Structure 1
């Protein structure tokens, strides 16, 4: 399993325009092969931070995601957000334990 987790910091506070673009992307991505979870969410403690969390069945599925037809419109939307910071990491998970 592949996990992507991190944050995007925006110059302006996260607003409905940003969240609408995220919702559109989330809906389309959830339908992709290998997508276990895909979430963008506003950080409740920092209104300039967008949290990112993804789970993929394989690296191949994640790589295919980057070629998905809904990716270019989302990248265009993101270009309008004035991202001032990014800390996103990919993890390869070999074992999980239910909590």
Structure 2
């Protein structure tokens, strides 16, 4: 079994652009989770303490699945739709995970 990849972090947008970006991310997330079997989780959420910040969490079955994600038609559509929005900061990291365990 391939090692999973988790992408986590945040993106900051001008306050007036954040909600518009979130709308684009909701559509992107729906298509990603539906159309990409290598996507195990995909969530972008507004940070309630910062009007600029979007929190990022993605979980992929493999690095290959993540790499393929960037070439999909819905990523191209997303990039075109969000091209005019102003991102003012970003901190994203990819983590390779060899072992996971339930915390129930």
TM-score under structure 1 length normalisation: 0.92
Unaligned residue ranges in structure 1 (runs of 5+): none
Q: What is the CA-CA distance between 1:75 and the residue it aligns to? A: 1.3
1:98 partnered with 2:102: yes
User: What count of residue pairs does the alignment treat as equivalent?
Assistant: 98
Would you tell me which structure has more helix in proportion to its own residues? 2
In the other structure, the counterpart of 2:92 is 88
Give structure 2 stretches of 5+ with no counterpart. Answer: none
Specify whether residues 87 and 41 from structure 1 end up closer, same or farther in structure 2 by C-alpha distance, changes over 3 A only. Answer: same
Q: Distance in 2 between matches of 1:89 and 1:77?
A: 24
Q: Distance in 2 between matches of 1:76 and 1:58?
A: 26
Q: Which residue of 2 aligns with 1:64?
A: 68
The aligned counterpart of 1:27 is 30
The answer on whether the counterparts of 1:12 and 1:81 sit within 8 Å (CA) in structure 2 is no
> How big is the shift at 1:76?
2.1
Alpha-carbon distance, 1:5 to partner: 0.2
Tell me how far apart the structure 2 counterparts of residues 89 and 79 of structure 1 sit (CA, whole Å): 22
CA contact (8 A) 1:40 1:50 kept: yes
Provide the C-alpha distance between the structure 2 equivalents of 1:73 and 1:12, rounded to a whole number of angstroms: 23
CA RMSD of aligned residues (A): 1.2
